[in-house]
Chain A
Amino acid sequence: MTQQLLKIRGLKIEGKSDEVWKPIVNGIDLDLKKGEVLGLIGESGAGKSTVGLATMGFTRDGCRISGGTVDFDGVDLVTASAAVKRNMLGKRIAYVAQSAAASFNPAHRLIDQHTEAPTQHRLRPKAESELDGMGLYHRLRLPDPDHIGFRYPHQVSGGQLQRAMTAMAMSCRPDLIIFDEPTTALDVTTQIEVLAAIRDIVEQFDTAAIYITHDLAVVAQMADRIKVLLRGDEVEEAETRAMLLAPREDYTKSLWAVRSFQRPAKPAVSTGVTPIVSLKNVSAAYGKSPVLFDVAFDIHAGRTVAVVGESGSGKSTTARCITGLLPPSQGHIEFNGEALPLDYRKRSKDQLRQVQMIYQMADTALNPRSSIGDIIGRPVQFYSGLTGSAKRKRVEELLAQIELEPEQYIDRLPSELSGGQKQRIGIARALAAEPQFIICDEVTSALDQLVAEGILKLLAQLQDDLGLSYMFITHDLATVRAISDEVVVMKDGRVVEQGPKAEMFQPPHHPYTDLLLSSVPEMDPDWLTNLLNGRGVDNIGDAAVGKM
């Protein structure tokens, strides 16, 4: 007989913006039994982290709980005194934050931070907690578990820190742990080892957990039940398998559908055609440290080449070489069969026009002091010399092309637009130059899934209409699957493997491609279990990368 652990009723939270209190969460109910894992999913602004913290009776500065109850094992944490809450936190409810690197105190060793909660809550002496900590480090498969605790946070890698933080949360054997996007900041190959560790330890100690994430596939591995939030309201809640098979609400269905967007593949390029862009054995270095080695691939007219790799693989550097911001130290780049000058300052206006770029962070890519009309109008005027009403007409055309109402947006500032709209303006600015080739640098990774899907569809549509070629830089394999024709896999500044998409998603692969592909979580709730059974717990994450 499992008993009720947490009962939230009508939880309302408000946040202060411009001196006015505005609702963030409008009345959420939530129940959790002992040992149960609830997945809390939603896009940014859904209020999932706020709810997670409120479960601990805590709000960030500038927020307040304005109504409802949070009943944890018979105590209402909303009205409880600070002393009562303190006695719960850490001991019975623990928290695992998104960024372990920022959430560990840089001035203390890991083990000292680990033992702090049990010592302060007078559960057991420090020496005992230390031994227990090492035990947990073992259990979580941290390297050198007996000594790693005596290091400082900056001496330990991100994935290891995240596991050490899970161990820290476990130090008092709490009844409930809140996981707040614990793997969002990690690479896929690292994510998987953290996921495995968390799931293992939560099962082992029969701890209840609330797992907050925006990633459906991840939550499918971790949670028994899933609750979907949208702008501070609950959309629906169901058992994980039931929810995955048959979501009830339209919003949930649309979230699920994102995963299935896939552009039909194009036929293979016939040999002998001159590619639009061709990298010929490009090597490059920042100062004296080399970052790219012998990179070579082609991008053909009207096609999309996805460049995939984890952080530090050199994919953005490749883009900088093509644009001429970082002239290669060796090799060269051909455009339509002609060699481009290596430095962008030596390229002609027309050469510059032909290669355009769309950036990851639309916030920093648009001048916050220029109106939308000016941002798009400038390249129109600069390259085609249009002015006055002709220019305005062209800008309106471009806005219509990116599916934004021209009259409504032309005079606005970027700060008045949403993230997805800003990214569309970035696209329009690139189109304004009427290029043949556009580099898309992680254009969807800062966006919510639904919005990202809209951007991908728009890019695909534009490609069909205008015959554009894309180089698509991404770390997300779902994006690769959705949009690419050819794939280039990079690791440590080298091309590991390249070929048409169909081939790349079929074995046999290069071992690194294989690792990368198999590390991407899938919507199947048994995916992680199967993977671990297949590969073995010691052959995931850093350990597996290390064997390459």
Chain B
Amino acid sequence: MGSIFQIILQRLALGVITLLIVSMVIFVAVNALPGDFAQAILGQGATDEAVAQIRADLGLDQNYFMRYFSWLGNVVTGNLGISFAQMNFASNMGGDQLVGVVEQIAPRFKATMFLAGVTAMFAVPISITLGVLAALYRNSIFDRAVNITTLSSISSPEFFLAYILILVLAVLNPIFPSLSNVYEGMALGEKLNRTMLPALTLTLVVTAHMMRMTRAAIINLLASPYIEMARLKGISPMRVIVRHALPNALAPIINVIALNLAYLITGVVVVEVVFVYPGIGQLFVDSVKIRDIPVVQACCLIFAAAYILLNLMADILSILSNPRLRHPK
């Protein structure tokens, strides 16, 4: 077995390769579309010159192989193309002020990161505390109540939780606004206030997952002989947890957090739609509906990249926290 540095490098390389293959999968999927993009963009009544023009713009006159690499090259240099909606607008109305996909996505991406950040701030501490408590007092009434509640909230679709929260916290008791129309340059307090309901919805879903996984990890850990040994050494329960359980729980808990942040990515789509939150999920769904391929493709790639990155981080952090790898023989 190589040194820890080598292992991490390997994982990083693996992550990059995965991302490359994923980009290929996305590209192939999109290019499996029947007919011609240019025709699709401009509709049936388009003139031949306009179609030819767009074909050239999109590089449709080149073969698949070339197109993939030029697309990949563009992606790497931060050029994600121009959305069909924009092109259609431009070719029908004229004008050159085309907004690229990158410019379209950037503010949306920031908004989504803000939402995910707020959610994580709630969800991570709450779920880890609850998870550890449930593990410590397992089989108590508290543990059972938490188990049933979290199981129910995991099982419910995000929009159900969202509407329940709207009902309770926006309609019946007007505490938070039910529409989250945040925009850039808004004051932070107001922005937080409007983000609260989507963040709470996501928190409910993610906390349930994270808490259950934390509970399982801790119970697993507490059953290990070295915890029994520590207790038989007459060490206080607090110290058993902090000194003996926690250092070993780090890896599983980090894993749990990363996995759930990755899970947020999926959850964010539905929740953004419910609350009309101007994030990347909303943009994605809108683009799916109007078949705006460059935007769909770009969003997909971003989601996948974030997902892979989080899983990679979990992987690397748990390698780093493993004493067997940190202190090789």
Contact = CB atoms under 8 A, between A and B. Distances in A.
A contacts B directly (C-beta below 8 A): yes
Contacts of A108: 243, 247
A87 B234 CA distance: 6
Contacts of A89: 231-234
Interface of B: 223-226, 228-236, 239, 243-244, 247-248, 323-324, 327, 329
A120 B239 CA distance: 10
Contacts of B324: 106, 152, 154
27 contacts: A56-B232, A58-B232, A60-B228, A61-B223, A86-B236, A87-B234, A89-B232, A89-B233, A94-B232, A94-B233, A99-B225, A104-B226, A105-B244, A105-B247, A106-B323, A106-B324, A116-B230, A116-B233, A117-B233, A120-B233, A120-B234, A120-B235, A152-B324, A152-B327, A154-B323, A154-B329, A155-B329
Given A56-B232, A154-B324, 12 more contacts: A58-B231, A61-B223, A86-B234, A89-B234, A90-B234, A103-B228, A103-B229, A105-B247, A106-B226, A121-B234, A151-B327, A155-B329
Interface string A52-94: 0100101011000000000000000000000001111111001
Contacts of B243: 108, 116
Contacts of B231: 58, 89
Nearest to B321: A107
Given A154-B329, A155-B329, A107 B323 contact: yes
A102 B229 CA distance: 10
B319 to A, nearest CB: 14
Interface of B, helix, strand, loop or mixed by DSSP: helix
A90 B235 CA distance: 8
B226 A103 contact: yes
Contacts of B230: 105, 116
Q: Which of B225, B232, B247, B248 has the most CB of A within 10 A?
A: B232
Contacts, number: 78
Nearest to B251: A107
Contacts of B232: 53, 56, 58, 89-90, 94-95
Contacts of B236: 86, 120
A90 B233 contact: yes
Nearest to B249: A107
A150 to B, nearest CB: 10
Given A105-B248, A106-B248, A155 B327 contact: yes
Q: Which of A56, A90, A107, A116 has the most CB of B within 10 A?
A: A107
Interface in A361-388: none
Nearest to A106: B323
Contacts of B329: 154-155
B235 A116 contact: yes
Contacts of B247: 105, 107-108
Contact of B248 (A107, A120, A154): A107
Contacts of A154: 323-324, 327, 329
A140 interface: no
Interface residues on A, range: 20 to 34
Contacts of B224: 102
B323 A97 contact: no
Contacts of A53: 232
Contacts of B223: 61
A86 B243 CA distance: 16
Contacts of A107: 244, 247-248, 323
Nearest to A109: B327
Nearest to B250: A107
A50 B57 CA distance: 78
Contacts of B229: 95, 97, 103-105
A122 to B, nearest CB: 11
Contacts of B323: 106-107, 152, 154
Contacts of A97: 225, 228-229
B226 A117 contact: no
Closest A-B pairs by Cβ, 3 of them: A89-B234, A90-B234, A90-B233
Contacts of A152: 323-324, 327
Contacts of A121: 234
Nearest to A56: B232
A108 B228 CA distance: 16
Contacts of A58: 231-232
A154 B230 CA distance: 18
A365 B243 CA distance: 41
A344 to B, nearest CB: 32
A122 B248 CA distance: 26
B224 to A, nearest CB: 7
Nearest to B328: A155
A56 B228 CA distance: 12
A57 to B, nearest CB: 10
Nearest to B222: A61
Nearest to B327: A152
Contacts of A60: 228
Contact of B226 (A61, A86, A91, A105): A105
A103 B234 contact: no
Interface string A112-146: 00001100110000000000000000000000000
Nearest to B244: A105
A155 B323 CA distance: 10
Contacts of A86: 234-236
Q: Which of B233, B236, B329 has the most CB of A within 10 A?
A: B233
B323 to A, nearest CB: 5
Nearest to A165: B229
A107 to B, nearest CB: 4
Contact of A91 (B225, B228, B234, B239): B234
Contacts of B234: 85-91, 117, 120-121
Q: Which of B226, B236, B327 has the most CB of A within 10 A?
A: B226
Nearest to A83: B236
A166 to B, nearest CB: 13
Contacts of B225: 97, 99, 102-103
A311 to B, nearest CB: 18
Contacts of A104: 226, 229
B249 to A, nearest CB: 10
Contacts of B239: 120
A110 to B, nearest CB: 12
Nearest to B219: A61
Nearest to A121: B234
A97 B227 CA distance: 12
